[in-house]
Amino acid sequence: MDEDTRYEAVRSRDGRFDGRFFFAVETTGIYCRPSCPAVTPKRHHVRYFATAAAAQGAGFRACRRCRPDAVPGSAEWNVRADVVARAVRLIADGVIDREGVAGLAARLGYSARQVQRQLTAELGAGPLALARTQRAHTARVLLQTTRLPVTEIAFAAGFASVRQFNDTIRAVYAMTPSALRAAAPGTRHRDAATTPAAGIPLRLAHRGPYHSGAVFDLLQREAVPAVEEVTGVPGRRTYRRTLRLPHGTGIAAVDERPGAPRAGGGTHPGGWLEARLHLTDPRDLTTAVQRLRRLFDLDADPYAVDERLGADPRLAPLVAARPGLRSPGAVDPDEAAIRTLVGPAAAGELVRRYGKALDAPSGSLTHLFPEPAVLAEAEPAGALGALAAALADGTVRLDPGADRDAAHRALLALPGLDAATAAAIRVRALGDPDVAPPGTPVPDSWRPWRSYALDHLRTAGELEFP
């Protein structure tokens, strides 16, 4: 996009560009999302940035009206497969907080200097700056939705010290942590529902329309007992599941009914899904949120998808009937791969026999899905044993930073795993938006959204679900 396009998006408060770029106003020292409802600044006072981290690095603080730190992520990082996109996905998953820049670089197969150079050149910020922005957002959520002590929040958000935490919050929000907590809407009316024991309430933002019904239909059809459940009636359902996280475990609940669109005008501002997280360790908040976002495909760009697929005569009526249809991913790529291979019924049996029981069950949610290493030892024969062993020893990598083509080749090399299963794993576990199963004739005009095109056909009953 050139500057004319960017400024027009700002002038019209166009929510389609939220997350694709940020703008800052030199006279106020504030940066915003394009759909910010504030008065449009004069063009010569505006600067543009590829990321919130780049805007913060240039000395701008986040707008308190549009909360640019809470914008949906750019769909570009899900589409692209290069090292920058892989790095962004890993940083979002909290890898730098757990393993540092050296760990990020090792996962990508590059030196730390190369990663720093490539991210800075394209995004205007290096890996530490991107992680710092993410920590600040996590801290704001914890400050404004829980009663956790400020000191605990500092370390839960990934900061190395309370001083670093205080300095970052002041720099990003121009407020102290205590003032930021006091400024949260409804602060005076908080009750026990905001305590850690009751979970952390969240709004999982998305851009544009979101066809939640098809996503919840799929989750209900695939739900594995003891690990997942879907309750309620269509249009008012709640999806709940257990989570295995880096520092502990969690239980997530996401409501089908969408939140109200954001106020303040603008074009297609989008909305959110209401969610709640119960975590044994609050340090897992960032990772848990990002994994839910991948499961529900909340960083997708429905405008780009619907525009391309809606131009196809076969797909046009399907797109018109279901605008904003998503292509769900997974909270745990290894689990998704195994479930894709064996199917829901066999997955339930694996949980019953080898799943780890939660220390504190929640209703029907009692177990975690068994880890690959456990399955490799317990079920060493056949395709399941081969896949579980390959996931356990790293022969097949499906994490957010995995090279999709390399992972696909590794899957195809496993005994008993056919091309159709590998393609299905690539869609769900790796979140690839452009996959066509072998033997399914798909026109090139559907690229780079073939996964979405096939989801439209399946949802309409024209193809069977794998």
Q: Does residue 405 form part of some domain?
A: yes
Residue 325 predicted with pLDDT over 50 = yes
Question: Exposed, middle or buried by CB within 10 Å (0-12, 13-18, 19+), for 193?
Answer: exposed
Q: Does residue 451 belong to any structural domain of this protein?
A: no
Residue 343 lies in a domain: yes
Average pLDDT over every residue of 327-353: 97
Residue 180: what pLDDT? 92
Residues 345 and 363 in one domain: yes
Q: Is residue 157, in this structure, part of any structural domain at all? A: yes
For the segment 235-252, the average pLDDT, to the nearest whole number, is: 97
Average pLDDT for 334-357: 97
* Residue 131 belongs to some domain of the structure: yes
The residue among 161, 188, 215 that closes a domain is: 188
The single-letter code of the amino acid at 293 is R
Mean pLDDT for the stretch of residues 425-436: 96
pLDDT at site 439 = 84
Question: What domain count does the chain have?
Answer: 4
**pLDDT band, residue 360 (cuts 50/70/90):** very high
Q: Residue 441 pLDDT more than 90? A: no
- Write down the mean pLDDT value for the chain: 92
380 found inside a domain: yes
Residue 77 pLDDT level (bands cut at 50, 70, 90)? confident
d(CA 427, CA 421): 10
Considering the domain boundaries, does residue 93 fall inside one? Answer: yes
Domain that holds residue 409: 333-430
Residue 169 has pLDDT above 50, yes or no: yes
Q: Are residues 154 and 171 in the same domain?
A: yes
DSSP state of 255: E
How wide is the angle at C-alpha 201 spanned by C-alphas 199 and 207, nearest 5°? 145
CA distances, 42 to each of 2, 48, 144, 265, 282 (Å): 17, 13, 33, 19, 42
Torsion of CA 203, 159, 110, 403, to 10 degrees: -20
Regarding whether 105 and 51 lie in a shared domain, the answer is no
pTM exceeds cut of 0.75 = yes
How, if at all, do strands 271-279 and 238-244 pair? unpaired
Question: Is the peptide bond between 34 and the residue preceding it cis, with omega within 30 degrees of 0?
Answer: no
Tens digits of residue pLDDT in 398-408: 999 999 999 99
Does residue 443 lie in a domain region?
Answer: no
* pLDDT grade for 269, boundaries at 50, 70 and 90: low
pLDDT tens per residue, range 95-141? 999 999 999 999 999 999 999 999 999 999 999 999 999 999 999 99
- Domain of 48: which CATH number? 3.40.10.10
Indicate if the pLDDT at residue 197 is higher than 80. Answer: no
Indicate whether 208 and 160 sit together in one domain: no
